[in-house]
Structure 1
Amino acid sequence: MKRYLALSGGVGGAKLAAGLAQALPPDSLLIAVNVGDDFEHLGLTICPDLDTVLYTLAGVVHPQQGWGRGDESFGVLDELRRLGGDGWFTLGDRDIALHLLRRQLLSQGLSLSAVSAELARRLGVAASVLPISDQPVRTIVHTDQGTLAFQDYFVRLRCEPALRAIDFEGAGKARLAPAVRALLASPELAGVIVCPSNPYLSLAPMLAITELRESLRTLKVPVVAVSPIVAGAAIKGPTAKIMRELGVHPQASVIADLYADFVDVVIVDEADAALAAGNPRFAVAPTVMKTVAQKLALANHCIELIGKLHR
């Protein structure tokens, strides 16, 4: 049986993850998700990227936002704010229910992988959706307004501070989740797909885990990535803004440079087709995923491309 590993962050990656889940049998796909955004809030363990992927694959994600629940209410948050509680991070009532269950399961001694698998089962998600690691890796951003925890930068301050550098606390000690490690070493692995998530905030925390990057470098199967940049702009989120603040021109070729040591081919949108002219580092396909059909088409393109590549 051919199996595939997808590396994903939140909203952008979740779209391709949904296409892959539609294109492949459930036991042929493992989606490993960033944990750099995870944090403790109101006594709960919040895993934004994991939850976004789970909600997307379960078909309950907010259709416009791409995160949170579509069928959400905010009674708890409204009352929390009325009582003067810490209500800057928006949590819906159904979302809180999931976080309460996660906290309960974690308190029973289950790993984050085991908890994520159980939450996926209860949400009706057939594909494996797991954290990249069961150990904490926390994204810390250094900005013109000082050093900030990720959610303070991303949510509380809405990415407004100019970013200067990023650290990933715990990455040096973190190990891959057991199922991720096992798949990377499995003869059944056919290829790896790097989803079009933010390369600095979503994928870099994962790749900072030495075990992952080293495994990707030495794999005997192809690794393909989908660029989150289209015609110099980010499909979703602050990727282009961050690139400019780091002194990098926002274009798809930069994505190829960031992943040059382990990615065989970067898929770019038709708007960037000139990059691919005579350049084996690039392939061209529509990468903007607004519909179910577009997600599935890009997923199939990734799978077909892997089938044509050799290491």
Structure 2
Amino acid sequence: MKRENVIALSGGVGGAKLADGLVQAVGDGRLTVVVNTGDDFNHLGLHISPDVDTALYTLGGLANPETGWGRRDETWTFMAALAQLGGESWFRLGDGDLAIHVERTRRLAAGETLSAIIADFARRLGISAHIVPMSDQALRTRVHCDEGVFDFQDYFVRLQCRPLTRSIEFVVAPDARPSSAVEQALADEALGAIVICPSNPYLSIAPMLAVPGLRERLRAAGVPIVAVSPIVGGAAVKGPTAKIMRELGVPVSADAIAHHYGDLLDGFILDVRDAALQGHITVPVHITDTLMLSAADRTRVAAETLGFAATLRQSA
């Protein structure tokens, strides 16, 4: 298979599934998975990076197959003991999962960058892809609701997305910029495609595009940028995407996702169930079954996505 380096922008479970397929589809090429850190927060004195850890566990073959997040065969002795003491137990940290949070927090306090720590974790877990944070500086997602303004994990986990969403804000550190690992991947002469995974466009991909300069650098890379729709048949495959779209006054449809990304895109992967929407999308479209219910599905969707990007590159 021809060597082709690929960048994937990924949020949580849906993004990690496609990234897992891309690992197989790139062949001898290198996959760089740029992960959202707008969901990161400090909890119980620990630095938690939920989307990063979902990518690590998924690509490392450790993810819980039932939830898609967290570690498989997890135990919960710590959480039970914490709850007994009256501690905050709304964000569940499994006994095995605690290790990654404790070690990351220790190394951040010692002065290491998040990029360096993640790269070392990925190596130790036997992951061939490069998993990198969108930035080594803080950018935090805050959700404005009728009941108030909530940090992302308060909204997403503690409140289970129940409040009515009015707007989404990204609080950006003054020195925030794309991580050096992202910059290196974008400058790679062998880069063949950029894939926007089927993650929540508003809560997972938008924080990445809010990193100062990143959107412009993606366009300047000069390779096709292809997004895979997270909407299938007028519904989100997973998570609150559809709910948020409705509350923001956006039609819950795949073509609305394409319009949301606008001139960032060169192509769009549309689910076969939404084929009738093709004419409403202004960029080239590839239609396929985007549901990833098995490992074979992940690889198939990834291979079709890269094949479509290659066609776009050739036509350009």
TM-score of the two chains, using structure 2 as the length reference: 0.95
Deviates more, 1:64-73 or 1:23-32: 23-32
Please, which of 289, 302, 305 is the counterpart of residue 305 of structure 2?
302
Contact map agreement 1:144 1:163 (CA 8 A) in 2: yes
Deviates more, 1:274-283 or 1:135-144: 274-283
Contact map agreement 1:27 1:128 (CA 8 A) in 2: no
Q: Could you say which residue in structure 2 is the equivalent of 1:284?
A: 287
Q: Distance in 2 between matches of 1:308 and 1:172?
A: 40
Please, which of 49, 59, 65 is the counterpart of residue 47 of structure 1?
49
Deviates more, 1:16-25 or 1:188-197: 16-25
Q: Could you say which residue in structure 2 is the equivalent of 1:8?
A: 10
Structure 1 counterpart SS, 2:78: helix
Identical pairs, percent: 51
Contact map agreement 1:275 1:282 (CA 8 A) in 2: no
Q: 1:29-178 alignment to 2 at 5 Å? A: 29-170=31-172, 173-178=175-180
Q: CA deviation at 1:170?
A: 1.0
Please, which of 243, 246, 261 is the counterpart of residue 244 of structure 1?
246
Per-residue displacement from partner, 1:216-275 (whole Å, max 9, x unpaired)? 233311000000001110001010000000011100001111111211111010001112
Q: CA deviation at 1:171?
A: 6.0
Shift in CA distance, 115/33, structure 1 to aligned 2, threshold 3 Å: same
Deviates more, 1:7-16 or 1:167-176: 167-176
Structure 1 counterpart SS, 2:96: helix
Contact map agreement 2:142 2:149 (CA 8 A) in 1: yes
Q: Which runs of 5+ in 2 are unaligned?
A: none
Structure 2 counterpart SS, 1:67: coil
Aligned residue pairs: how many?
311
Q: Distance in 2 between matches of 1:289 and 1:101?
A: 32
Q: Which runs of 5+ in 1 are unaligned?
A: none
Contact map agreement 1:256 1:281 (CA 8 A) in 2: no
Structure 2 counterpart SS, 1:60: coil
Contact map agreement 1:224 1:266 (CA 8 A) in 2: yes
Q: Could you say which residue in structure 2 is the equivalent of 1:203?
A: 205
Q: Distance in 1 between matches of 2:225 and 2:90?
A: 39
Contact map agreement 2:38 2:207 (CA 8 A) in 1: yes
Contact map agreement 1:5 1:30 (CA 8 A) in 2: yes
Q: Which amino acid aligns with 1:54?
A: L
Q: Distance in 2 between matches of 1:167 and 1:251?
A: 23
Q: Could you say which residue in structure 1 is the equivalent of 2:214?
A: 212
Per-residue displacement from partner, 1:70-119 (whole Å, max 9, x unpaired)? 11001111101111111110110010011111112212211000000111
Structure 1 counterpart SS, 2:8: strand
Q: Could you say which residue in structure 1 is the equivalent of 2:19?
A: 17
Structure 2 counterpart SS, 1:135: coil
Shift in CA distance, 76/282, structure 1 to aligned 2, threshold 3 Å: same
Q: Distance in 1 between matches of 2:139 and 2:109?
A: 19
Shift in CA distance, 306/159, structure 1 to aligned 2, threshold 3 Å: same
Task: Give the root-mean-square deviation of aligned CA atoms.
Answer: 1.4
Q: CA deviation at 1:212?
A: 1.1
Contact map agreement 1:171 1:208 (CA 8 A) in 2: no
Q: Distance in 1 between matches of 2:19 and 2:173?
A: 24
TM-score of the two chains, using structure 1 as the length reference: 0.97
Contact map agreement 1:227 1:268 (CA 8 A) in 2: yes
Contact map agreement 1:27 1:127 (CA 8 A) in 2: no
Please, which of 223, 232, 235 is the counterpart of residue 233 of structure 1?
235
